[in-house]
RNA sequence: GCACCGAUGGUCUAGUGGUAUGACUUUGGCCUUCCAAGCCAAUAGCUCGGGUUCAAUUCCCGAUCGGUGCACCA
């Protein structure tokens, strides 16, 4: 057999976590189906995430369409920037990045050239694969966004979103109103995003349709101290900064306070979400020893991002997998949408005290300007307002012509203006989670093959909070009324919101193994003692230990076990 | 996209120019007083399309998916 990946994926397929999509018509790379247990697991991971970001941080969730009009992605830069300029070698048919080829042969800023310019430059250069000259090779765009058209016969172009973030940015003004126009505030979105990857490999790691959980937190550009920073000030995580990477030295583990003060992490907001991400991922079940935070190198950091850290999870198969990106995107996106849409993407921030400013305004005398300049009067007035008048009059430029306006055609007013605050374009701190990657890594870290008396026991050590099935109820024997008692107990559990499977098929050991494989944390068995004293056994998946307790207390006890507020040893009498 | 390798019940596999082996799983039954025990039975398969052939799961070509390398990863 292969490595742990093969074993995990085999189990995931067999037991209904993850399946290839549209199998009966031939599966398509980059798309997967979540089966019954996978969909449940995914939802539980998402709900744990909601617990952090919505309930604790107070950033409400929105849901925007996955199809967006072209303008959104023109503004965000995806229409232009999310495309690669490619060319194909006429000899070996290999595809290459045209700008990379030009770059290697000494062309500066090749990525900013047009396709025509690039085609001219690479013409005759050797193909990086076969070495033959690239004769008259076309340079064309390959955009990684899925394109569609909106409406019948419509010329309106739409794109499937390549990230959920833009849906939040373009709702900025509505959100600002919702939060009563007070920074900081944030919104989150969990949903599908789409990227038409050239070569999606690596199973669930690189998908063409994937789920993101993103938070966009709008903060004042001059106040990047997180109000709740004390929560994580003493928290320490493994940080692999730019300088560590370039000098090839190990990550360091300072406290967040130290990391911010030393300048390793740009500000408290970024540090706060690094810690929160660490806490979230370890709660999901990621092994903290296989988790590190790596700072983007200057070359890979998007040009607008001020600081960017990836949470990387170690996979036996894929190495360090980028699962979360935490970036300070500054005001890049809001400015871009302001420019493209013409709307204002800012918040009015009042000063602590009202300021008074002396201001000199020029008030044109339209009654005099009108008859004098006729059709040009309006333009003259506008130019006048912007001008710097001398003692006798002002010189303005209109249609390239210099024009002198005598001082009696306008008034100069010295005013004291009350300034209560200013319009501020917030900076955006963005923690962005790849749920599918987290889910895979969780499975991989939870998976264990244990040798029990010569048999291999496959167990998913899933955190009870995210296990798709929380409990199973077995009658020891399928007779003497044990089965009825077991069924009734399963019903009782379901009434308290616990997903409990009833299973009476096969030997008891086999039933335990089945539940171990899907990560069910607790199993309850009804035996002959139950008939005498109404007690049942409760078995813990990880230790295989059992305790005995009254059947009537099982729902309450299980709830507390799942919440983590009751240690298993105290759940009942040891056997 | 390219090159190489692979694809047989749900899973893992044997094998073949004449529609297929075994194990595990699953389901039903018997048995069974707590960790994949035993017995009986049942269900279930040659990735897809084309070609060669009387006949293709097998040979050839192509596609799809998976793996590896190249390229790509805003």
Q: What are A84-101's pLDDT values in tens digits? A: 677 776 665 566 667 777
Q: Give yes or no for CB of A35 within 7 Å of strand B.
A: no
- Residue A91 to residues A127, A140, A178, A522, Cα–Cα distance (Å): 9, 17, 59, 62
Q: How far is the CA of A24 from the C1' of B22 (A)?
A: 27
Q: Flag residues 355-374 of A with CB < 7 Å from strand B.
A: none
Of the candidate ranges A231-235, A320-324, A400-404, the one whose mean pLDDT is the lowest? A400-404
- The pLDDT of residue A125 is 74
Using C1' positions and the CA of A475, the closest nucleotide is B34
Distance A36 CA to B43 C1' (A): 22
**Whose structure tokens read 């025509």?**
A116
- CA dist A288 → A33, A236, A249, A281 (Å): 28, 12, 20, 8
Is the shortest CB-to-strand distance from A290 to strand B under 7 Å?
Answer: no
Fold observed for domain A83-142: Herpes Virus-1 (3.30.40)
**How far does the CA of A26 sit from the C1' of B48, in Å?**
8
Q: Is the CB of A549 under 7 A from strand B?
A: no
d(CA A440, CA A203): 9
- Taking only Cα atoms into account, the Rg of chain A, rounded to an integer number of angstroms, comes to 32
Spatial CA neighbour of A292 closest among A264, A323, A267, A329: A323
> Does residue A143 lie within 7 Å of nucleic acid chain B, judged by its CB?
no
Four-residue CA torsion sign, A383, A386, A390, A395: negative
H-type helices in A200-295, by residue range? 242-246, 256-261, 268-284
> Cis peptide leading into A313, omega within 30 of 0?
no
pLDDT higher at A43 or A156: A43
Spatial separation of the C-alpha atoms in residues A440 and A434, rounded to whole Å: 10
A213 vs A340, more confident = A213
CA of A124 to C1' of B70 (A): 22
In angstroms, how far is B27 C1' from A505 CA? 10
Q: A531 CB contacts (<8 Å, ≥6 apart)?
A: A480, A481, A482, A485
Is residue A34 classed as helix, strand or coil in its secondary structure? strand
Pairing of strands A401-406, A319-330: unpaired
* Distance in angstroms: CA A236, C1' B67: 39
- A198 is near strand B: CB distance < 7 Å: yes
Work out if A29's Cβ lies within 7 angstroms of strand B.
Answer: yes
**Cα-based distances in Å from A311 to A51, A279, A290, A430:** 19, 12, 10, 13
Over the stretch A228-258, which tens digit does the pLDDT of each residue have? 999 999 999 999 998 888 888 889 999 999 9
pLDDT of residue A298: 78
DSSP of A293-354: EEEPPTTTS-TT-SEEEEEEEEETTTEEEEEEEEEEEETHHHHHHHHHH-----EEEEEEEE
A129 touches strand B (CB under 7 A): yes
Q: What is the per-residue burial (b if ≥16 Cβ within 10 Å, else e) of A278-295?
A: bbbbebbbbeeebbbbbb
Q: Give chain B positions with protein CB within 7 A.
A: 1-2, 10-13, 25-28, 31-38, 47-48, 64-68, 70-74
Nucleotide nearest to A31 (CA to C1'): B65
Statement: the CB of A451 is under 7 Å from strand B: no
A203 touches strand B (CB under 7 A): yes
Residues 100-119 of A with CB under 7 A from strand B: 100
Please enumerate in sequence order all residues whose Cβ is within 8 A of that of A313, keeping only pairs 6 or more positions apart, or say none.
A281, A286, A290, A291, A320, A321, A323, A437, A438, A441, A445
pLDDT the model gives residue A432: 94
Give CA angle at A312 (A306, A317), nearest 5°. 145
CATH architecture of A469-574: 3-Layer(aba) Sandwich (3.40)
Tokens standing for A546?
A: 């059992």
Nearest residue to nucleotide B37 when comparing alpha carbons to its C1'? A507
CB of A24 nearer than 7 A to strand B: no
Domain boundaries, given as residue ranges, for chain A:
4-71+149-334+428-434, 83-142, 351-420, 469-574
Residue A502 binned pLDDT confidence (cut-offs 50, 70, 90)? very high
Q: Is the CB of A539 under 7 A from strand B?
A: yes
The secondary structure of chain A in percent helix, strand, coil, rounded to multiples of 5, reads: 35, 30, 35
Q: How far is the CA of A2 from the C1' of B18 (A)?
A: 36
Q: Does domain A4-71+149-334+428-434 have CATH number 3.90.280.10?
A: no
Find which nucleotide's C1' atom is closest to A162's CA. Answer: B74
3-state secondary structure of A78: helix
Closest by CA to A312, choosing from A323, A301, A296, A326, is: A323
The predicted structure's pLDDT at residue A154 = 65
The percentage of chain A sitting over the pLDDT mark of 90, rounded to a whole number, equals 52
Q: What is the pLDDT of residue A150?
A: 82
Side-by-side strand order, sheet with A67-69: A67-69, A157-160, A147-149
A447-489 pLDDT, tens digit per residue, is 999 888 778 899 999 999 999 999 999 999 988 899 999 999 9
Report helix, strand or coil for A224: coil
CA atoms of A230 and A573, how far apart (whole Å): 41
Q: What is the pLDDT of residue A282?
A: 96
8 A C-beta contact, residue A172 and residue A334: yes
State yes or no: pLDDT of A424 exceeds 60. yes
Distance, Å, A23 CA → B49 C1': 16
Asked if the Cβ of residue A527 lies within 7 A of any atom of strand B, the reply is yes
**Looking at domain A351-420, does it have CATH number 1.10.3470?**
no
Which nucleotide minimizes the distance between its C1' and the CA of A526? Answer: B34
Residue nearest to nucleotide B34 (CA to C1'): A508
Alpha helices by DSSP H, listed for A137-196, are 165-169, 172-178
The per-residue DSSP string of A96-117 comes to EEHHHHHHHTT-TTGGGS-HHH
What's the Å distance between residue A112 CA and nucleotide B42 C1'? 68
Does at least one atom of strand B sit less than 7 Å from the CB of A248? no
ipTM given for this complex: 0.83
Residue A402's pLDDT band, with cuts at 50, 70 and 90, is: confident
Closest nucleotide to residue A28 (Cα to C1')? B65
From residues 400-439 of A, list those within 7 angstroms of strand B by Cβ: none
Distance A29 CA to B64 C1' (A): 9
| d(CA A1, C1' B6) / Å | 14
**CA to C1' distance (Å), from A19 to B34:** 34
CA of A544 to C1' of B30 (A): 29
**Residue A462 pLDDT:** 96
- Burial (CB count within 10 angstroms: exposed 0-12, middle 13-18, buried 19+), residue A83: middle
Query: How far apart (Å, rounded) are the C-alpha atoms in residues A525 and A472?
Result: 8
Phi then psi for A245, rounded to 5 degrees? Answer: -65, -40
* CB half-sphere exposure, A454, CA atoms < 13 A: 0
pLDDT at A104 over 70: no
Distances in Å between the alpha carbon of A271 and those of A50, A313, A399, A431, A438? 20, 18, 53, 11, 20
């Amino acid at each position: 057999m292969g490595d742990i990946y093969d074993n995990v994926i085999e189990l995931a397929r067999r037991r209904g976590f993850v399946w290839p999509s549209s199998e009966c018509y031939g599966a398509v790379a980059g798309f997967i189906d979540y089966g019954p247990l996978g969909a449940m697991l995914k939802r539980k991971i998402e709900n744990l995430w909601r617990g952090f970001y919505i309930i604790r941080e107070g950033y409400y969730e929105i849901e925007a369409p996955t199809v967006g009009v072209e303008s959104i992605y023109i503004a965000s830069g995806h229409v232009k920037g999310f495309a690669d300029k490619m060319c194909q070698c006429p000899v070996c048919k290999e595809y290459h990045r045209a700008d990379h080829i030009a770059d290697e042969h000494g062309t500066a800023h090749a990525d900013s050239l047009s396709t025509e310019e690039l085609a001219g430059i690479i013409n005759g250069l050797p193909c990086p694969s076969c070495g033959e000259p690239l004769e008259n090779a076309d340079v064309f765009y390959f955009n990684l966004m899925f394109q569609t058209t909106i409406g019948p016969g419509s010329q309106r172009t739409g794109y499937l979103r390549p990230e959920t973030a833009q849906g939040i940015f373009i709702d900025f003004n509505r959100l600002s109103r919702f939060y009563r126009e007070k920074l900081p505030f944030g919104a989150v979105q969990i949903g599908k995003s789409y990227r038409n990857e050239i070569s999606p490999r690596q199973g669930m790691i690189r998908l063409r349709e994937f789920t993101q959980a993103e938070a966009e937190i709008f903060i004042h550009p001059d106040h990047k101290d997180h109000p709740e920073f004390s929560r994580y000030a003493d928290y320490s995580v493994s940080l692999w900064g730019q300088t560590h990477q370039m000098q090839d030295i190990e990550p360091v583990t300072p406290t967040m306070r130290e990391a911010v003060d030393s300048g390793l992490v740009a500000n408290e907001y970024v540090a706060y979400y690094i810690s929160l991400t660490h806490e979230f991922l370890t709660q999901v079940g990621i092994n903290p020893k296989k988790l590190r935070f790596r700072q983007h190198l200057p070359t890979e950091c998007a040009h607008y991002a001020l600081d960017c850290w990836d949470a990387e999870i170690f996979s036996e198969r894929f190495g360090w997998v980028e699962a979360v990106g935490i970036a300070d995107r500054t005001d890049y996106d809001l400015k871009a949408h302001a420019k493209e849409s013409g709307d204002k993407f800012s918040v009015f921030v009042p000063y602590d005290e009202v300021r008074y400013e002396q201001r000199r305004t020029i008030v044109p005398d339209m009654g005099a300007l009108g008859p004098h300049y006729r059709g040009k009067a309006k333009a003259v007035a506008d130019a006048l307002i912007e001008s710097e008048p001398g003692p006798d009059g002002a010189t303005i430029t209109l249609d390239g012509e210099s024009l002198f306006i005598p001082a009696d055609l306008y008034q100069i007013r010295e005013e004291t203006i009350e300034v209560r605050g200013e319009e501020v374009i917030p900076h955006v701190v963005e923690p962005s989670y790849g749920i599918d990657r987290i889910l895979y890594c969780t499975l991989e870290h939870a998976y264990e093959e244990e040798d029990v008396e010569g048999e291999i026991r496959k167990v998913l050590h899933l955190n009870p909070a995210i296990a798709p099935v929380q409990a199973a109820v077995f009658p020891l024997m399928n007779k003497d009324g044990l089965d009825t008692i077991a069924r009734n107990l399963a019903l009782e559990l379901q009434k308290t919101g616990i997903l409990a499977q009833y299973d009476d098929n096969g030997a008891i050991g086999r039933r335990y193994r089945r539940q171990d494989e899907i990560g069910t944390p607790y199993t309850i068995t009804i035996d002959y003692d139950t008939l005498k004293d109404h007690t049942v056994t409760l078995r813990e998946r990880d230790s295989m230990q059992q305790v005995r307790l009254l059947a009537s207390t099982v729902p309450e006890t299980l709830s507390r076990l799942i919440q983590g507020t009751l240690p298993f040893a105290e759940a009942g009498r040891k056997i």
